[in-house]
């Protein structure tokens, strides 16, 4: 319980020194991040999209370009995989989707 300003300062210092305590539930979730890196025209997007479409659990495709994020969402929809689209300009949210295509 925080009763004085000194207690508040000590509490804030404790929080800033231990970021894991900020969101304990989120930190306890096991995640895997797959990063595709390579030179221009090395089929990074193709490889990432193929792997993204093969996943049968929740997945997020983070695109550096809005048009690429839209293309991924369209391809998934054409393949009967429900996908949400989140960009800086639009947000298309469908119920019961497992995949999200967004911009970084």
Q: Is the pLDDT of residue 3 over 70?
A: no
The string of pLDDT tens digits covering residues 39-94 is 988 988 888 888 888 887 888 999 889 999 999 999 988 988 889 999 999 999 99
Q: Name, in order, each residue with C-beta under 8 angstroms of 64's C-beta and a sequence gap of 6 or more.
A: 103, 104
Is there a domain that residue 61 lies in?
yes
Domain that holds residue 24: 3-31+48-103
Q: Is residue 40 part of a domain?
A: no
> Looking at the domain assignment, is residue 16 inside a domain?
yes
- Between helices 66-78 and 44-54, what is the axis angle to 10°? 40
Residue 70 domain-assigned? Answer: yes
The pLDDT value recorded for residue 50 is: 87
* In-domain check, residue 36: no
CATH number at residue 7: 3.40.50.300
Measured from the Cβ of residue 92, the count of other Cβ atoms closer than 10 Å reads 14
- Report how many domains make up the chain: 1
> Looking at 14-18, 23-27, 36-40, 76-80, which range is the least confident one?
14-18
Instruction: Let me know: does 103 contact 64? Beta carbons within 8 Å.
Output: yes
Please indicate, yes or no, if residue 39 is contained in any of the structural domains: no
Give the integer Cα–Cα distance in Å for 33 and 28: 15
């Amino acid at each position: 319980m925080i009763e004085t300003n000194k207690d508040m300062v000590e509490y804030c210092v404790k929080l800033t020194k231990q970021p894991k305590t900020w969101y304990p539930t989120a930190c306890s979730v096991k995640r895997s991040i797959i990063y595709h890196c390579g030179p221009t025209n090395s089929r990074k997007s193709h490889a990432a999209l193929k792997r993204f479409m093969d996943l049968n659990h929740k997945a997020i495709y983070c695109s550096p370009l809005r048009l690429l994020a839209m293309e991924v969402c369209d391809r998934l929809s054409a393949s009967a995989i429900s996908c949400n689209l989140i960009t800086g300009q639009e947000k298309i949210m469908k119920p019961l989707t497992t995949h999200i295509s967004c911009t970084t």
